[in-house]
Amino acid sequence: MKRERRTRSDMMRVLVVDDEADIRELLDLTLARMGLAADCAGSVGEAKELLARGHYKLCLTDMRLPDGAGIELVRHIGEHCRDLPVAVITAHGSMENAVSALKAGAFDYLAKPVSLEQLRALVKSALELPQRNESGETSAARSLLGESPAMRQTRDMIERVARSQAPVYISGESGSGKELAARLIYRLGARREGPFIAVNCGAIPENLMESEFFGYRKGAFTGAETDRLGFFQAADGGTLFLDEVADLPLTMQVKLLRVIQEKRVRMIGATAEEGVDVRIICATHHGLKTLVEQGRFRQDLFYRLNVIELAMPALRDCREDIPLLARNILVRLAGASGEATPTLTPAALAALSAYPFPGNVRELENVLERALALMVGDAIDVVDLRLAPFPQGDELQQGQAPLQDYLDQVEKRAIMEALGKTRFNRTAAAKLLGVTFRSLRYRMERLGLNE
């Protein structure tokens, strides 16, 4: 390495943990060629010592070590050096190990025998991870609004999974922000300079699926007049977002699984497969697990996609965020039409806070957009919101909401309607509801309606 100007001590350092000397040497040499210096450890204990002293950009560890498992090191790093990406090297064909390492917080994995091409891609991604600022949350993550514990937890989880290459399955009700979350994971991750390809799996006709996903060569079939890239090739080096993934037909699920497993894809009409480097994020508002149980979604594909699950909370589970979200949406809507931002009357705000929002944030956006069109004067009132009179009973049928939550919702709606009708006169509202003023006050307090 004579042409290297920098001394090894100035270089970015990688910690290599493997008990086999020749693998350590191979990794050391390869990293040196990439301008990186490696410190080598032969055991979990040695690695922990080096971690305590040195400052590393990346850690590569074998899974089986003389004094413990590589996964132990993954957990150790997660606790003590949160910003350090750690990748595991797994035995050939041992997908279980790779998945459990990713679940434990590994950045990525390499299968033995280590392909130099994959090693280079992995190192490059690790070095491209954005620096996290001291205050914790990155500003981009703030575009997912809300200060409720559930929303904070979601943001935290997004930041963590963004720093990994693991496949993510985003679950959550319709309109709860699954796509927004997928885009955030992309923007905060190592692949943010690469493409983000969003595919609505429900919108592609079944007979076109293969060519849309895998592309085709000129002459592969009548009408194939030029080569055409598929989603996988278009997303190479970046992220492929499979939205509404539950809508994939079973035949396509098999083909997709193969590509994900092999990291190789063959265009229709091509003779050879080509490697693709794609991070998969998928989402659906259906419960994928239930579909697997019903035989409508392949278990093996589910296992590959669901390495990390990000569950988007329903808006009714983050009620305290409704005022903040509503204000932000109004600022945006008014700004777009160049008008002054309207306010919400206290009764309107209370009605929104009590409403169950089966359509989540998207429904809140729609409700406010409609209210903006309907309102007279400069404040939005309960009538302008046109909220559905009662929560739909289907939550109960699905057996998801505990009875008390359901009854609370019904009670809230009744109170809000009465308050709306009496323009927030609590004495009159109590009379309308046939309860005493004290009882109404108590109920409002219990339901958190006293803002």
Ligand X SMILES: Nc1ncnc2c1ncn2[C@@H]1O[C@H](COP(=O)(O)OP(=O)(O)OP(=O)(O)O)[C@@H](O)[C@H]1O
- Measured from the CB atom, the residue of 28 and 179 that comes closer to Mg ion is 179
Q: For residues 279-318, which are near ligand X according to CB under 6 A?
A: 285
Judged by beta carbon distances under 5 to 8 A according to partner kind, the member of Mg ion, ligand X, none in contact with residue 285 is ligand X
Q: How far is the CB of 141 from ligand X (least distance, A)?
A: 11
**Chain positions contacting Mg ion, by CB under 5 A:** 179
Q: How far is the CB of 297 from Mg ion (least distance, A)?
A: 18
User: Whose structure tokens read 């990291």?
Assistant: 263
- Measured from the CB atom, the residue of 217 and 362 that comes closer to ligand X is 362
Tokens standing for 136? 């914790």
Q: How far is the CB of 243 from ligand X (least distance, A)?
A: 7
Q: How far is the CB of 99 from ligand X (least distance, A)?
A: 25
Beta bridge partners of 379: 343
**Binds ligand X by CB under 6 A, chosen from 11, 121, 180, 435:** 180
Beta bridge partners of 14: 38, 58
Question: What pairing do the DSSP bridges indicate for beta strands 274-275 and 264-265?
Answer: antiparallel
Specify the stretch interacting with ligand X by CB under 6 A; choose among 97-105, 139-147, 216-224, 416-424.
Answer: 139-147
Judged by beta carbon distances under 5 to 8 A according to partner kind, the member of Mg ion, ligand X, none in contact with residue 121 is none
Q: How far is the CB of 359 from ligand X (least distance, A)?
A: 8
| 152 touching ligand X, by CB under 6 A | no
Mapped onto helix, strand or coil, the DSSP state of residue 430 is helix
Cβ count within 10 A of residue 357: 23
- Residue 321 burial class via C-beta count within 10 angstroms: exposed 0-12, middle 13-18, buried 19 and up: buried
- Measured from the CB atom, the residue of 109 and 186 that comes closer to Mg ion is 186
Specify the stretch interacting with ligand X by CB under 6 A; choose among 18-26, 35-43, 68-76, 167-175.
Answer: 167-175
Please give the size of the binding site for ligand X, defined by CB under 6 A: 16
Question: Sheet of 36-41: strands edge to edge?
Answer: 36-41, 12-17, 58-62, 86-90, 108-111
Picking from 131, 289, 279, 90, the residue whose alpha carbon sits closest to that of residue 191 is 279
| 395 touching ligand X, by CB under 6 A | no
- Measured from the CB atom, the residue of 107 and 241 that comes closer to ligand X is 241
Q: How far is the CB of 179 from Mg ion (least distance, A)?
A: 4
- Measured from the CB atom, the residue of 39 and 365 that comes closer to ligand X is 365
Tokens standing for 346? 């206290």
**Binds ligand X by CB under 6 A, chosen from 19, 179, 405, 411:** 179
Picking from 128, 124, 82, 125, the residue whose alpha carbon sits closest to that of residue 105 is 82
Rounded to 5 degrees, what angle do the CA atoms 57, 58, 60 make?
160
Cα–Cα distance measured from residue 125 to residue 239, given in angstroms and rounded to the nearest whole number? 13
**Binds ligand X by CB under 6 A, chosen from 167, 172, 189, 230:** 172
**Binds ligand X by CB under 6 A, chosen from 94, 118, 174, 345:** 174
Cα–Cα distance measured from residue 265 to residue 258, given in angstroms and rounded to the nearest whole number? 9
| 146 touching ligand X, by CB under 6 A | yes
Judged by beta carbon distances under 5 to 8 A according to partner kind, the member of ligand X, Mg ion, none in contact with residue 69 is none
Question: What pairing do the DSSP bridges indicate for beta strands 36-41 and 58-62?
Answer: unpaired
Cα–Cα distance measured from residue 104 to residue 106, given in angstroms and rounded to the nearest whole number? 6
Residues that bind ligand X (CB under 6 A): 144-146, 172, 174-180, 285, 325, 361-362, 365
